[in-house]
Amino acid sequence: MVRRRVAQTREQVKEKLVAALIEDHSPREVAVSFSVGVFLTALPTLGTGFLAFLVLAYLFKQLSKVALFASVLILNPPVKWGVYATSFWLGNQILGPVPGLSFDGVSVSMGSDVLVRLWTGNVVLAVVFAAVGYVLAFRLISEYRRRQGWTAEIS
């Protein structure tokens, strides 16, 4: 079941990336679109990230909608729990541990301290993911188009 799900996700990502590769956007525009999508998807937006995608796609015609939405396939809900755990850990490393937080005694009063650490770590991870996503998408698209013999802009 897990192998089938991984294979399906891999096929979906491949289809979306091929669609993005043949769009009428420059590799830079596709890479920026993908990295913006990765950044928003990495944040704990509680579902409002999709609305942000729609607004951005409407406002900025130079964004590749396919690349923007393809980022959702990379950071899907099962993966996000690992991102959240890593974000909280990273936030703790940056800001220090939440005073009094332990697995046997969690209090609602610690909520804001926990959220600040989660968001801090999450923003750092989102920036890193977006930067890596940009570089990988740009190289992939540029190489794909070069191999296909595209004569259009490659920057």
Q: What letters, b where the CB count within 10 A reaches 16 and e where it falls short, cover 100-130?
A: eeeeeeeeeeeeebeeebbbbbbbbbbeebb
Q: State the pLDDT at residue 38.
A: 93
pLDDT higher than threshold 80 for residue 151:
no
Amino acid code (one letter) for 19: A
pTM of the predicted protein model: 0.76
Q: Where are the beta strands (DSSP E) in the chain?
A: none
CB-based burial label for 149 (10 Å; 0-12, 13-18, 19+): exposed
In percent, the amount of the chain with pLDDT more than 70 equals 84
pLDDT tens figures, 128-149 = 999 999 999 999 888 888 887 7
pLDDT tens figures, 44-92 = 887 788 899 899 989 998 888 888 888 888 777 778 888 989 998 999 9
Output the CA–CA distances (angstroms, integers) from residue 106 to 91, 101, 109, 118, 120, in the order listed.
Answer: 18, 6, 9, 16, 20
Structure-block tokens of residue 145: 């188009």
